[in-house]
Copies of this chain bind each other. A is one copy, B any other.
Amino acid sequence: MEIKGDQIWHSPSPAELLAAAGQEITLKACVHNIRELGGIAFVVLRTGRYLIQSVYDKEVCPDNNLSQLSAGDCVRATGLLRAEPRAENGVELLLHGFTVLSRPASPLPLNLADKELKATLGTKMEYRTVALRHPRERAVFRIQQALACGFREFMLSQDFTEIHTPKITGIGAEGGAEVFELDYFGMPATLAQSPQMYKQTCVAFFDRVFEVGAVYRAELHNTSRHLNEYTGLDFEMGYIDGMEDVMQMETAMLQHTMAYVKEHCAPEIALLDVDVPRIGAIPCIRFADALALLKTLGGGKNRNDLTPEDEVLLFEYYREKGLGEFVFVTHFPTAKRPFYVMDDPHNPRETLSFDLLFRGLEVTTGGQRIHDYDAQVAKMQARGLDPAQFESYIGVHRCGLPPHGGLGIGLERLTMKLCGLSNIRDASLFPRDINHLVP
Instruction: Count this chain's copies in the assembly.
Output: 2
Chain A 104-138 interface mask (CB, 8 Å, partner B; 1/0)? 11101100000000000000000001101100001
A138 touches B102 (CB 8 A): no
Contacts of A238 in B (CB 8 A): 28, 48, 74
Q: Given the known inter-chain contacts A104-B399, A239-B10, please indicate yes or no for A168 contacting B180, CB distance below 8 A.
A: yes
Contact of A48 among B161, B167, B372, B399 (CB under 8 A): B161
Task: Provide the bound-state CA to CA distance between A399 and B111, in Å.
Answer: 12
Q: At the interface, yes or no: A177 with Cβ under 8 Å from chain B?
A: no
Q: Given the known inter-chain contacts A101-B403, A104-B400, A159-B11, please indicate yes or no for A169 contacting B48, CB distance below 8 A.
A: no
Task: Provide the bound-state CA to CA distance between A429 and B184, in Å.
Answer: 19
Residue of B nearest to A156 (CB): B149
Of A81-89, A273-281, A292-300, A431-439, which stretch is located at the interface?
A: A431-439
CB neighbors of B among A221-254 (8 A)? 228-229, 231, 238-239
A392 touches B30 (CB 8 A): no
Contacts of A397 in B (CB 8 A): 105
CB neighbors of B among A388-439 (8 A)? 392-393, 395-403, 411, 429-430, 432, 434, 437-439
Q: At the interface, yes or no: A201 with Cβ under 8 Å from chain B?
A: yes
Contacts of A310 in B (CB 8 A): none
Task: Provide the bound-state CA to CA distance between A400 and B130, in Å.
Answer: 10
Contact of A429 among B141, B164, B231, B439 (CB under 8 A): B164
Q: At the interface, yes or no: A166 with Cβ under 8 Å from chain B?
A: yes
Contact of A102 among B184, B191, B401 (CB under 8 A): B401
Contacts of A392 in B (CB 8 A): 129, 438-439
Contact of A398 among B104, B162, B187, B429 (CB under 8 A): B104
Q: At the interface, yes or no: A385 with Cβ under 8 Å from chain B?
A: no
Q: Given the known inter-chain contacts A430-B165, A437-B187, A438-B392, please indicate yes or no for A206 contacting B402, CB distance below 8 A.
A: no
Write 25 A-B pairs (CB below 8 A) sorted by A numbering.
A10-B158, A49-B206, A73-B400, A74-B403, A101-B402, A102-B402, A103-B400, A105-B373, A105-B400, A129-B396, A141-B163, A142-B161, A166-B229, A166-B432, A168-B180, A168-B191, A168-B229, A168-B437, A169-B437, A181-B183, A185-B220, A187-B437, A198-B429, A201-B439, A395-B439
- Lowest 6 A-B CB distances belong to which pairs? A48-B207, A104-B400, A105-B373, A392-B439, A74-B402, A28-B239
Interface residues in chain A, defined as those with a beta carbon under 8 Å from any beta carbon in chain B: 8, 10-11, 28, 30, 46-49, 72-74, 76, 101-106, 108-109, 129-130, 132-133, 138, 141-142, 144-145, 148-149, 152, 156, 158-159, 161-171, 180-185, 187, 189, 191, 197-198, 201-202, 204-208, 212-214, 216, 218, 220, 228-229, 231, 238-239, 371-374, 392-393, 395-403, 411, 429-430, 432, 434, 437-439
Beyond contacts A181-B182, A213-B214: 11 other A-B pairs, Cβ-Cβ < 8 A, are A30-B204, A30-B400, A102-B401, A132-B201, A132-B202, A148-B162, A166-B214, A168-B180, A168-B228, A185-B434, A213-B213
